[in-house]
Structure 1
Amino acid sequence: MKKRILGFWEIWNMSFGFLGIQFGFALQGGFMSRIFQSMGAHEEDIPILWIAAPMTGLIVQPIIGYLSDKTWHPRWGRRRPYFLIGAILSSLALFFVPHSSALWMAAGFLWILDASINISMEPFRALVADKLDESQRSYGFVVQTLVIGIGTWVASNLPWAISQLGVSDSAPLGEVPMSVKVAFAIGAFVFLLSILYTVFTTDEYPPEDMEAFLKEKAEKKNTFIKDIVENIGKMPTTMKKLGLIQFFSWFAFFTMWSLANPALTEHVFEAPAPVESEYNMSLEADKAAYNVKNTAFQKASNRVGSYMGVYGLSSMAFALLLTVYTSRRRINRKYTHMVSLILGGIGFLSMYYVPSPEWLIVSFSLIGLSWGSILSMPYAMLSSSVDPNKMGVIMGLFNMFIVIPQIIAAIGGVNITYKLIGESSINAMTVAGISLVLAGLLNFLITEKKAIY
């Protein structure tokens, strides 16, 4: 079926829900490690506490993709019911996670939060392919990236901005500062509101042959595992090659999300999290000393979060440039992705050498170029290489190449690789840089013309 060419605002409306999704991801990515450290977690324990995020994605996204492919409701369509369910659950989890009273509880809420975000996110990827003609695919994914960039920058700056309004950054031992709690509450509200906006402003195409759709749905009612295995076995060659690129790309970004806060607060801001065991909290002098160091760490963490927001701003600018360009002509997706990833790798590598915190703007700006490309180019390349009737399940399976590297990183990959260089956690950013440069070079494997243009 030849699909209608959509205007910018129609594409904007169908992408706007990603603002809320990215609020969730940015708050999680920028501040979960801070929450874990505030509750007493040591640096080397942080990656394993993060394992909830990729594990839930590995399980949830293929299931949601498969189910949404086989869903149709006359009022709510195919993908929108999943947007709404995920938004409600994510908003609740976002609100409660900083109120956790124990480390295990915070890790548990991360499981719930990430599972809920994934319920909303996967169908958004499929919706772009559902709604847009192939000539607009790059444009659609780039607009989606523009919205993501806005969400990343705003959400990453929330704790800092709230602190500037006078909300406290101090907190007793084992508790999260009020500035973070307020930021997560705002994020919960924005998440739900933005998803509702897309749900009520966007319609969906019904199946081309409703009778055949219903017949196939009835015949394959209990064939989920069989269909998943079959689709893995018939994975397109382009998808396999992109999977290798995705592996090293997402290993790098998981390393950033889990260890950028401890690495940069220590190496750049010289304000590491105080170690509880080094203080006798029954002594007033030790308690006061702990509070001074903890407040310095929390304020440094605010600034790390703000600097991390720069990569959202940079990806937004990059996406805006690509939006203007791809609205008129096609681009070479392969070389766009290659150059962007290599520049992001240079951004990570530069963190070891920054002479002062302000230089992190340059580092994260370069990382933002790679982030903008990661969120658009692989999906544009993949969507041109798969059966439109299986778009949801294929996008869900493609998520394996996102979550598997993160699981490997979480269970020891990050700690093992960066400690080959040295004990300081800033070396984790060097590992991320090397990984991203390698991902960029692997784009030479992409040779299918339909995927490239």
Structure 2
Amino acid sequence: MRLQKPSLSFWQIFNMNIGFLGIQYSFGLQQTAINPIFLYLGAPEDMLPILNIAGPVTGLIVQPVIGALSDKTWSNRWGRRKPYFLIGALLGSLTLFAFPHSPVLWFAVGLLWILDVGNNMAMEPYRAFIGDKLPEKQLSLGFQMQSLFVGAGIVLANGSIVLFQYLFGEESLESGIIPQWLYYSFFIGAFLSLATILWSVLKTPEIPPSEKEMLEINKIKSLPLGHKFRKPFFEIMRSIKVMPKFMWKIGAVYLFQWYALFIYWQFTTPLFKLTMGYSTSEAASQAAKMSLTYNIVTMLVALALVPLTIRFGGKKVYALSLVGTAIALFTIPYISDPLFVLAPMVLFGIGWAAMMGIPYTMVSKIVPQDKRGVYMGILNMMIVIPMGIQTLTFGPIYKYLLDGNAINAMLFAGVFFAISAFLAMRLNEKTKG
């Protein structure tokens, strides 16, 4: 018998999602500030993809494992998902504080690995947390609210970069020196990463497991340590074998979507150095303005997508948003005005709002309640595998096929978004019977 969950008020859903603000502030710094730091520390542009491999590798391992573990966890004091995203937030907070102090490139790359472990520990159980708490009729609101906080966190991260670069920005005159103005954004992130998660932890109680789930949890607690360690990996493999066909189709969309997104995030700063003749600091600030713009749009449209998906279906809204994102990337390289180049970010922001909400709503409706954590982890594997492929393959593609030209890289990403939009139209929406 399925558990009948009570409907939550708007502000209860708001409070349970606030923790996403801190997580996404951290991701916002990764999108905009990490690659400039690598450049400051002497990394060549064609090495940027491989230097970002930490995200795909840690996401591939950490998220599904944490998802499987959190499915089989319960503490009367701390709950099921909360312990994991609280530990992840603490790890992320400490790493963000240390990041701008990186003395050399290898040190910064090592910290990125630690930061990604923390962010992935926090991210996956948070996705499952929303599905655990909300009845099916409120899932769309819950995940689009999460999308709103995705935008808000990245807006704050990029807004801080733009502000501090404007107030204190100076180009580093010495190779290997990170400019002081970047420090402040990371310090704010260290605070928000932990504070916002604590807010959600303290404001939102979790639903206790059913008697059947509790029997399974107690059974796992009695297993030898070696069996406990292996069980989540077996759980992941079993779940993949019986995974709904819909998720395989989502995986095809994600292959092109997330490959393209990683190109955009890595090559926006090099693009503006080329098209606008900017220094690294100026190009990083312009990239932050781009991210700031599209995430403001994401905040504004995230909840507006809820009635649209109800009326027209998630598939159509999702596919159309990906078409808009492709158009944005085809346009950006040919605009050399720093103000006008922000206009395509309206389309990008609508696409980002859809990407961060609609697929999770679709998947949450079709997977079993007691497997939601592991399936949200598997969905994340479908994100990080394309990212991993991109980090391993795009360096040579950029250097040898695209002539080391950031304009060509952006157009390449636009083509991949167009392909993902075509594949999204093949999705068939279903719900659990």
Normalising by structure 2, report the TM-score: 0.93
In structure 1, C-alpha distance between the alignment counterparts of 2:319 and 2:399, rounded to whole Å: 24
Summarize deviations over 1:141-182 as a string: whole Å, max 9, x none.
001101111111111121221233336554532011111111
Segments of 5+ residues of structure 1 without an aligned counterpart are 272-295
**Among 270, 273, 291, which residue is 2:277 paired with?**
270
The aligned residue for residue 399 of structure 1 is: 380
Q: How far off is 1:322 after superposition?
A: 2.4
- On the 8 A contact 1:255/1:414 being kept in 2, the answer is no
- Give distance in 2, aligned partners of 1:216 and 1:384: 28
Q: How does 1:7-406 map to 2 (within 5 A)?
A: 7-166=9-168, 168-170=170-172, 172-209=174-211, 211-217=214-220, 218=222, 221=228, 222-267=230-275, 269-271=276-278, 296-323=279-306, 332-406=313-387
- Specify the code of the residue in structure 2 equivalent to 1:140: G
**1:361-387 deviations in Å (ceiling 9; x for gaps):** 112221111111111111111111111
- CA displacement at 1:406 relative to structure 2: 0.6
Deviation at 1:225, TM superposition (A): 2.5
In 1: Cα distance, 2:150 partner to 2:341 partner: 21
TM-aligned CA deviation for residue 397 of structure 1:
1.1
Cα distance in 2 for residues equivalent to 1:449 and 1:418? 43
Verify the 8 A CA contact 2:315 2:429 in the aligned structure 1: no
Quote the Cα distance in structure 1 between the aligned partners of 2:124 and 2:318.
Answer: 21
Partner secondary structure for residue 450 of structure 1:
coil
Residue 243 of structure 1 and its aligned partner are, at CA, apart by 0.8
Q: Rate the CA distance shift 1:90–1:331 in 2: closer, same or farther, 3 A.
A: farther
**Matches of 2:345 and 2:395, distance apart in 1:** 20
Cα distance, 1:191 vs structure 2: 1.1
- After superposition, the CA RMSD in angstroms is 1.8
Q: Does the 8 A contact of 1:248 with 1:436 survive in 2?
A: yes
User: Is structure 2 residue 432 aligned with structure 1 residue 424?
Assistant: no
What is the Cα deviation at residue 413 of structure 1? 2.8
Amino acid at match of 1:29: Q
Structure 1 residue 53: deviation in Å?
1.1
Unaligned 5+ runs, structure 2 = none
- The residue type equivalent to 2:274 in the other structure is E
Residue identity in the other structure for 1:319: A
Instruction: Provide the rounded CA distance (Å) in 2 between the counterparts of 1:169 and 1:183.
Output: 17
Is the 1:417–1:431 contact (alpha carbons within 8 Å) kept by the matching residues of 2? no
Question: In structure 2, how many angstroms separate the alpha carbons of the residues matched to 1:216 and 1:251?
Answer: 41
Amino acid at match of 1:20: G
Q: Give SS of 1:165's match.
A: helix
Alignment partners' CA distance in 2, 1:414 and 1:243 = 23
What's the CA shift string for 1:65-95, capped at 9, x where partnerless?
0111111111111011111101110011111
TM-score w.r.t. length of structure 1: 0.89
Task: State the Cα distance separating 1:188 from its structure 2 match.
Answer: 0.9
Amino acid at match of 1:364: M
d(CA) in 1 for partners of 2:354, 2:54: 25
Which whole-Å CA distance do the structure 1 matches of 2:67 and 2:405 have between them?
Answer: 40
